[in-house]
Amino acid sequence: MKEHKGVSALLQTAEREQRCAIGENEALYRALQRRVRSGELISPYPNVFASASYWTSLTVEEQSLHTIRALSKLHPKWVFAGLSAACIYGYHHSFSLHDGTIHIASSRGSNKNDHAHLNRIYVHNGMRVFLYRNLPVTSPAQTLIDCARLPFDKALAIYDSALRFGHATILDVETLMVQINCDEIAVKKLLQYANPLRENGGESWAYANISKLGFAEPLFQETFDNPDNPSMPYRVDFCWKLADGRIIVAEYDGIAKYIDTSNPNRANVKMKLEYERRRERHLKERGVTTIVHMFYETVADSHTLDATLMDAGVPKIR
């Protein structure tokens, strides 16, 4: 389709600001819609547009944030909540949670005029509104309470992130929880298991599945001396120190990241594999008796995960 200078300028500005473009007047809106019909642009939400090639280069989380930033300009009174707020705060979470839905705080339920991808989360009157990265969001504590509606193994990463970033404390969430209507059972369970020591969403997800199977509580980010660099000790994801002297270590993702050659910026694969072998040798020299590498497929299948940890000798408490 022939270039439209107004549309091109609109898209360039939006991409520079890391958001979707908005049809600022009737003529631009129609020009944008024509390009949606031709496949040149996509429209994830009414009057919200992006170049198809640019959009597909983004992760689903980045797509959500681009949509949120555009909608904030279109609807300045909207306060983003739930998963949308978690994205704005930068809390780790599974990309599988994204389905194009935008979540906002509301003192009323949805109505027939709402877009199919708009989810209104009921909040109490007098809710505090926070401004984070120039976007209006629910407080970190409110965001965590709203995210308790998600599956436990997906929500735990969000809780771990908020605690790790220092945005909220367990007391903050407990205090708000008793003041509003919410799923207290789900919130209390997440607070019971939340731990800022887990460094990323993958570790949180793996731990959630480990705990569901009844295994003993591991130590997180346990350190071991590194003879090659004493100032940089080795840290392991999960560690069980048993009464009989055995030390079992489990690493989520293990060496998978070292054999992924899809990223041209990665260091030499052979060097990374050699580092991993040396690291494991040093860990065993320092008393580690068993090292287990858990991949996504291992954790996703409860029978495989259970068998893997049982074979490694990790005890169960229930």
Please tell me the predicted confidence (pLDDT) of residue 269: 64
- Predicted structure pTM score: 0.89
Q: Let me know: does 151 contact 94? Beta carbons within 8 Å.
A: no
What is the mean pLDDT of each successive set of 10 residues along the chain, which is 318 residues long? 81 96 92 94 96 96 98 96 98 94 88 87 87 97 97 97 97 95 96 96 96 96 94 96 97 56 53 86 96 93 97 93
Specify the pLDDT at position 255: 44
- The rounded Cα 217 to chain-centroid distance in angstroms is 23
Tokens found for residue 311: 């074979």
pLDDT of res. 229 = 92
